[in-house]
Structure 1
Amino acid sequence: MAVSFHGRSNSVPSIQHPQAAHIDEQLTRLRSSEAASSSSSSFIYQRLSNLQDLHDSLVKLLRLSISNQALSQDQIEKLLDGSLRILDLCNVAKDAFSQMKEGLKEIQSILRRKRGDLSAEVKKYLAIRKFMKKSFQKVLKNLKVFQNKDNTDESLVVFREAEAVTIALFESLFSFMSGSKACVKWPLVSKLMSQNKSTCEAEANEFTRVDFEFQSEKSLKMEDVQILESCIQDLEDGIESLSKSLIKYRVSLLNIL
């Protein structure tokens, strides 16, 4: 996909700028990573880092006079709306991370002190997880409805492509945090389906591994809770960095207006 800007005059030819070519390369790498079979917290964190770099590149592109001339007020407003939707996704993720960290903190405190109502705190945490998954489903459903209604003009293709790969990342992130649908209720039927138990354990990530331990009421591994907490912190840091780049991107758009 070649990125080019078209001036408002029909006599102005398409212009390919080195910065636009660089963004093309970044988008290609991000699209390739979407197709990768890997699904780990470190892989998602790397994609978050790449998206931050992409939006930093878009900011540089917007500062070029050619991009200022190519974008109309209506187009800029569309891009502002799109960036706001992505910032909303960032906030949804950060809110989920914050609630889970607080729940895990209380559980670890009880485990260390060996006193307190561990069962009650576990139930609170699982309730947070259940609510979180429903929130993710609702947000993504509403987002897809909007995307289906949105008709993009060709002059915004590079910006819309950036939006698309960013939204795809959040779909992967929310799916990763929610866990496999086939394995979510594994503890409830594990006695009858031992084969499924083995499969789900093999597929479990940091989030679902702790869910399994809580739901099955077996001995909780402090190490797994600490690993999950570290995973959440890394992803939270990645989301925060992306949010800052998105804000810079919005400021650049507003400066053109």
Structure 2
Amino acid sequence: MATKYHARSISLPSKSHPSTVKVEEELRKMKTWESCSFSSSSVCGALLGLQDLYDSIDELLKMGSTHQISSCPQLKQLVDELLDGSVRLLDVCSLAKDMAFQTQQHVGALYSAVRRRKRDSAIKTTIAAYACYRKKMMKEAKKLMISMKKMNEKFNSTQMTNLDNHLSSVIGAMRQAYSINSSILESVLLYLTPLTKPKARGWSLVSKGVHNGAIACESKSGLNEFESVDLALSSAVEEKEVEKLHMAQRRLESLEMAAREIESGLDGVFRRSIKTRASLLNILSQ
């Protein structure tokens, strides 16, 4: 899987209206996240940037000149497409937020089992439940990413011709914002469902090849919190050393905190997406 998201480009008009400058500035900022490392901090930073982008878009939609959209049939059709896209993005955002919450619950159970040093059978049961959850989550994430890909293909298939420069800039900016939103949500899903996942059978949480080499060079491997937890748990459970158990606890704490921050970031994006959708509906109703 990719280690960072790539925003799908939807070109804006060559000469944008001055009122869209702030939105375009936020769009340019968002593209800097393409070069960030694939970690919880970069994912959370992208979610915060997306919130700022939506705030700028909402200000743009409140401008009187933007309300002319309701008088142009072609623009109304494009807005309808944006509304359809917003529903899909809201669904994905809500499901991703639920994934982040469930991750906290499962990681909390793992932390409790390791901290209390429960008998091997109890820890094994907890690990098996976590592995089952991860497998289910990966399947769900794949479906969601396919859904968002179809949405972006639809946006790219509709051309904007013979439109007022300002209004086409507004629609173009929103299209690009939705495309970036889609890419960031994909980034979140990829973070929450890394390829290195625990195996339900036995103590091994990672493949033998990864386990043999990664622990020695973990600091240089670029692993995210999920993968670091897999390695730490594998080492702690197999070798049963006190220090490694403590390391596993610390890694589990970090993962739980990362999932909580991502859930919070997704909640902020969800709320602002609702607000933007309401502004679009308000424009069409005039």
Alignment of 1:167 onto 2:182 = yes
- Alpha-carbon distance in 2 for matches of 1:228, 1:243: 22
- Alpha-carbon distance in 2 for matches of 1:86, 1:59: 17
Alignment of 1:206 onto 2:229 = no
Seq. identity, %: 28
- Alpha-carbon distance in 2 for matches of 1:92, 1:215: 29
Deviation sequence 1:98-143 (CA, Å, 0-9, x none): 2111112222233344446121111101111111111111211232
Matches within 5 A, 1:38-187: 38-71=37-70, 72-115=75-118, 117-150=122-155, 151-154=157-160, 155=168, 156-179=171-194, 181=195, 183-184=196-197, 187=206
Range 65-74 or range 127-136, more displaced: 65-74
Q: Which residue of 1 aligns with 2:163?
A: none
Offset of 1:197 from its aligned partner? 6.3
Q: Return the letter of the residue paired with 1:164.
A: S
SS of residue paired to 2:206: helix
- Alpha-carbon distance in 2 for matches of 1:70, 1:15: 16
Q: Which residue of 2 aligns with 1:16?
A: 17
Residues 1:254 and 1:24: Cα distance change in structure 2 (over 3 Å): same
Relative contact order (C-alpha < 8 Å, sep 6+): which is higher?
2
Offset of 1:65 from its aligned partner? 1.3
Q: CA RMSD in A?
A: 2.6
Q: Return 5+ residue gaps in structure 1 as ranges.
A: 5-13
Offset of 1:195 from its aligned partner? 4.3
Instruction: Figure out how many residues of one structure are paired with residues of the other and give that number.
Output: 243
Range 193-202 or range 38-47, more displaced: 193-202
Q: Are the aligned partners of 1:2 and 1:24 in contact in 2 as well (CA < 8 Å)?
A: no
- Alpha-carbon distance in 2 for matches of 1:152, 1:200: 47
- Alpha-carbon distance in 2 for matches of 1:162, 1:103: 33
SS of residue paired to 1:187: coil
Taking structure 1 as the reference length, the TM-score comes to: 0.83
- Alpha-carbon distance in 1 for matches of 2:104, 2:41: 18
Q: Return 5+ residue gaps in structure 2 as ranges.
A: 1-10, 161-167, 199-204, 239-243
- Alpha-carbon distance in 1 for matches of 2:81, 2:217: 45
Offset of 1:168 from its aligned partner? 1.0
Offset of 1:184 from its aligned partner? 4.8
